[in-house]
Amino acid sequence: MRWIAPAFLTLIAASAFAQPQAADPNRPERRTVKLPSPPRLPTGAKPRLPTLARQAMLRYLSSRQPAADQPIPDALQAEVDLPAQGVTSVATLPYAAVVTLRQDGRLVGTALGDGRGLARNVIAAALDAMRSPALPDRITSEVLLGLTVELSILGEQIETDEDVLLATITPGLTGVKLVRGLRDPGLRVDGAAALFRSTHVLPSTACVLGWNAARMRTQCLRELGHNPMATGLKGTWYTFRAAHIVDYPGRAGTWQLYRGKILTLPETIDADALAAARDRVAAWLMRHVDEDGRAGEPLADQLYAAWVLARYGRQRDNKDARGAARVIIGGVARNHLRLSEDEMTARVITARPADERLATAMFLLATTAMPADPKAVGIQTKLARYLLASPPEDADGFDVLTRAVAVLALRRATLPNAAPPENWTATLLQAARPAGDGGMAEGRVATATLAWVVRAALAPGPIDKQQMAQISAIVGRIGSRQSLLSEVLDRYGGYLGDGPEPRTLATGLAVAMLAEAASAIGGPGQAEAMREQLAGPMTDARRFCARMLYRPAEAYFVPAAQRPTWDGAARIRPDRSTTSVKAAAAALEALMTE
């Protein structure tokens, strides 16, 4: 076990709790503006409102009863005392409502109800949504009962200056609305009705489609279009928060979602829940490996997943995980591994030649986690020769990530005469420093890349005091990027990537790096002391990764038959519905630490 100086222990542990002091250049400027408040509703009313929408459509189908004449359940008319509204009823709350209808995951109708009390808004929006031309020509009760009903209840709508609009939008949490015209929706003036137009983007829409603030703004402008009668009329922008409730057909249940996921408080995720999350994401990765090992993702990402699955299989004595890793490695070897003409080197061929070194390094790294096999040593040696003969710097610049993975793979392979040159690690650590501090990398080095740098430098091999100081500085930079104080609840514990949103990849790799740093400590009691000091930040990060894993009930936007396959898939970040193999692999790495 390597000896690391006590000073390094202090620096690395303290850095895990550090918070950024300077403004992040990648974070949009946030001026002092009034932020919209979410709608305030009694908990018991939330499942009743989407049910009201479905019942209103069924009632209209049978009796053609308009929205204004439909009955409102007594439970919604009963008086309640709400902090923001005083004594009132749910039915009369001044909240707009958007009803969205999905047929087996496909959006088939959406409409806004506004200008009445909440219950009437829900009913009106439901009846408008069911008139969508995307629904069958003949709508039956069976069709309506088979729809998924999404209900978005809009809180206060805050008029927002366009010059601060992008800075006040949090995708997935904040919606945006654009109004253009001479009047408010409730006024009736002859000839003015044609001038008023309105459009919006819901927080849930941005989350499913992966839109950022600029894309939300563009969508509003695109949908509103150009109205010759309104030439010269300035549009008014509004931002709002919304409660998002999904009601599945049949007995599947009603769920309130926060940025597309069931909100779970971090403190409720205990050791058993973390272990269950670990096994769920591992099972998802195993399900997403085909016989050729392609998995539908970039080769380097697949091979990273193979490396993690092989280690998970060894840790949990899981033959299926080891088999899945073998399938990925074998598929890449059959389809993408190429020998040189003299058969002295081997490399992984990728669609983009620039990715070949990284994929080759990941291939070598993945093989180091597999059971020892004398036949594999020959291929490993050829891969190592290619990496050593082709250092990852050329006319296109220095690739910090590729160099880090190559150093880590070469050191872990422990092949004769195949160790990376000592100057590789020194150059790598120098490159990871900010450009303004003598570093070679341009701009802000990604958190995930920095984690790979530390893992490479701490892998078995020579290292000196100066390099230890550089490593501690990098760990401090990583530690300062953990999101611990945020008004957005699902960011807690995650490590920032680029911008204000934490990334699952960055968080998983940061946890794995911290665990390896703790294991590298030598000397009496030092490793245990470091693990104790890192326990809090690492637990918060592991809980973040667990929260990023899908449950079937959260995949309302995919066909019902596919929802079970989403169980354990990892979001790339909290504000996007997108998943990826490398995010799942990083989450598994974090959840494997104990």
| Lowest-pLDDT range of 185-199, 246-260, 312-326 | 185-199
The Cα 172–Cα 203 span in angstroms is 4
Q: Is the pLDDT of residue 34 over 70?
A: no
C-alpha 208/C-alpha 555 separation (Å) is 10
CA 562 to chain CA centroid, nearest Å: 20
pLDDT value for 525? 66
Lowest model confidence (mean pLDDT) among 11-15, 166-170, 462-466, 586-590: 11-15
AA letter at 73:
P
| Nearest-angstrom CA–CA distance, 195 and 187 | 12
Among the listed residues 72, 82, 81, the one whose alpha carbon sits nearest the alpha carbon of residue 51? 72
Residue 292 pLDDT > 80 = no
H and E: helices and strands count for the chain: 20, 16
CB 397 within 8 A of CB 360: no
For residue 254, what are the β-bridge partners? 247
pLDDT over threshold 60, residue 3: no
Q: Six-digit token pair at 530?
A: 């470091």
Give the burial string for 56-89 (b: 16+ CB within 10 Å, else e). Answer: bbebbbeeeeebeebebbeebeeebeeeebeebb
Say how far apart CA 16 and CA 10 lie, in whole Å. Answer: 10
Residue 345 dihedral angles phi and psi, to the nearest 5°? -130, 160
CB 370 within 8 A of CB 310: yes
Residue type, 347: R
- Tell me the pLDDT band of 209, cut-offs 50, 70 and 90: very high
DSSP 3-state assignment of 316?
helix
Q: What pLDDT sits at residue 396?
A: 46
pLDDT at 438 over 50: no
- Please tell me whether residue 346 adopts helix, strand or coil conformation: strand
The confidence band for 135, taking pLDDT boundaries of 50, 70 and 90, is: very high
pLDDT of 469-513, one tens digit each?
888 888 888 988 999 877 889 999 999 987 789 999 999 999 999
* pLDDT at residue number 89: 87
pLDDT of residue 21: 37
The answer to whether 405 and 361 have CB atoms below 8 angstroms apart is yes
pLDDT-derived band at 126, boundaries 50, 70, 90 = very high
Which run of H or of E encompasses 209?
A: helix 203-209
Beta-bridged to residue 150, according to DSSP, are 100, 246
Q: What confidence category does residue 409 fall into, taking pLDDT thresholds of 50, 70 and 90?
A: very high
Has residue 5 got a pLDDT over 60?
A: no
The predicted structure's pLDDT at residue 500: 81
The per-residue pLDDT for range 346-364, each reduced to its tens digit, is: 999 998 888 999 999 999 9
Whether 286 shows a pLDDT value over 70: the answer reads yes
pLDDT tens digits, 15-26: 444 444 344 444
What is the distance between the alpha carbons of residues 400 and 155, in angstroms, rounded to a whole number?
45
pTM of the model: 0.89
Residue 86 confidence (pLDDT) above 60: yes
Give the mean pLDDT of 26-41: 64
- pLDDT exceeds cutoff 60 at 241: yes
Mean pLDDT of the chain: 86
Among 508, 45, 592, which residue's Cα sits nearest to residue 309?
A: 592
Which residues partner with 180 through β-bridges?
197
pLDDT given at position 468 = 86
Question: Rg of the chain over CA atoms, in angstroms?
Answer: 27
Q: pLDDT band for position 120 (50/70/90)? A: very high
The pLDDT of residue 440: 44
Lowest mean pLDDT among 205-209, 225-229, 538-542: 225-229
What pLDDT is stored for residue 417 in this prediction?
A: 86
Mean pLDDT for the stretch of residues 381-405? 79
| Tokens representing residue 153 in the block | 């209840």
Given a cut of 90, whether residue 570 has pLDDT beyond it is yes
Q: Which two tokens stand for residue 60?
A: 């209209």
pLDDT confidence band for 184 (50 / 70 / 90): low
Average pLDDT over residues 367-395: 84
β-bridge partners, 174:
241
In the three-class reduction of DSSP (H, G, I as helix; E, B as strand; rest coil), residue 482 is classed as strand
Cβ(175)–Cβ(240) under 8 Å?
yes
Residue 178 has phi, psi (to 5 degrees) of -125, 125
The yes-or-no verdict on residue 369 having pLDDT over 50 is: yes
Terminal CA-CA length for the chain:
19
CA dist 122 → 142, 152, 202 (Å): 21, 9, 16
Q: What percent of the chain has pLDDT over 70?
A: 84
Helix, strand, coil % (nearest 5) of the chain?
50, 15, 35
Specify the range with the lowest mean pLDDT, choosing from 143-152, 428-437, 554-563, 567-576: 428-437
CA 139 to chain centre: 37
CB neighbours (10 Å) of residue 587?
34
Q: If residue 79 lies in a helix (H) or strand (E), which one and from where to where? A: strand 79-82
pLDDT > 90: what percent of the chain? 60
Q: Is residue 199 very low, low, confident or very high in pLDDT (cuts 50, 70, 90)? A: very high
